[in-house]
Amino acid sequence: MNNAKWAGQLETILDKKQLSTLFQVIFSLRESKVFGYEALARGPRKSELHEPVALFAYAFKKGRLQALDKISSSLALHRFQRARGSEKIFINLSPDSITSFSDEMDTLLILGEAQGVSPEKIVIEVTEHFPSKDFSRLISALDTYRTMGVEVAIDDFGAGYSGMRKWFDIEPDYVKLDGYFVHDVNKDNKKRLFIESVKSLTDKLGCTLIVEGVETKEEFGFVSDLGVDLVQGYFIGYPQPLGC
């Protein structure tokens, strides 16, 4: 990694808002229609920071993650406003960005209103990729957003060590199960049992399960037979610009 080169690229991306937004479908099996879209940010195509893992990890390392989250969220909302139906937009945010946005008079809602996206269409995905400095402030910020109509999802459930505690403390509207657990589920009884258990818990706790990473006909058949409503993955659709 060339630190000076990457740092310069990051600042250019932030200054010039050089981010593209891809949207991946979240499909409702029960209603046979698109339920929502997850917004996915990408850096410039020929940049070392094109892929989101590199882009957001480096922004975190340089203390610029909140700035990146704010810009990517604003662009995602602007590009989403072309969807005039009832679909929701799922926006990934780090815990510290969620709390800082709330401190700034609910920046996410201001951004949404500016783009014509009502709070009821926004779902905040809380990611575990970056740690929370103050979990109690995170809970308070999410509660503030909820009072205004925004919903909350736990992203990549099962991939991090604190997923179950977050589930109980945050009381999310949606739990997004990490794609690891559905991969080749038709060949792995332990994964089948795990997904069945998570589905039972979501039903009993009053939240909705979203199974990510559905890539094959067999995986799709399993989650459908289990009674899962919301699914996401390459079998449903690849991430792409909205309207394509």
User: pLDDT tens-digit profile of 116-165?
Assistant: 888 899 999 997 677 677 888 889 989 988 988 999 999 888 766 556 77
- Considering only CA atoms, which of 96, 106, 44 is closest in space to residue 69? 96
Cα 171-64-107 angle, rounded to 5 deg? 50
| Lowest mean pLDDT, pick from 2-11, 135-144, 172-181, 220-229 | 2-11
Whole-number pLDDT of residue 101: 73
List C-alpha distances in Å: 153 to 17, 58, 175. Answer: 26, 24, 6
Check pLDDT > 60 for residue 105: no
Mean pLDDT of the chain: 89
At 40-67, the pLDDT tens digits run 999 999 889 999 999 999 999 999 999 9
C-alpha to C-alpha distance for 231 and 25, rounded to whole angstroms? 9
C-alpha to C-alpha distance for 21 and 194, rounded to whole angstroms? 33
Q: Which helix (H) or strand (E) holds 220?
A: helix 217-226
Side chain identity at residue 82, one-letter code:
R
Q: Are strands 122-126 and 208-211 parallel, antiparallel or unpaired?
A: unpaired
Whole-number pLDDT of residue 114: 73
CA 76 to chain centre: 12
Contacts of 121 (CB under 8 A, 6+ apart): 86, 87, 88, 89, 112
Q: How confident is the model at residue 3 (pLDDT cuts 50, 70, 90)?
A: confident
- Considering only CA atoms, which of 136, 131, 138, 197 is closest in space to residue 160? 131
List domains and CATH numbers for the chain: 3-10+21-231 (3.20.20.450)
Whole-number pLDDT of residue 244: 54
CA 143 to chain centre: 18
Helix, strand, coil content of the chain in percent (nearest 5): 45, 20, 35
At 66-99, the pLDDT tens digits run 999 999 998 999 899 766 678 999 999 988 888 8
Check pLDDT > 90 for residue 209: yes
List C-alpha distances in Å: 131 to 53, 97, 127, 145, 158. Answer: 15, 11, 9, 20, 15
Q: What percent of the chain has pLDDT over 70?
A: 92
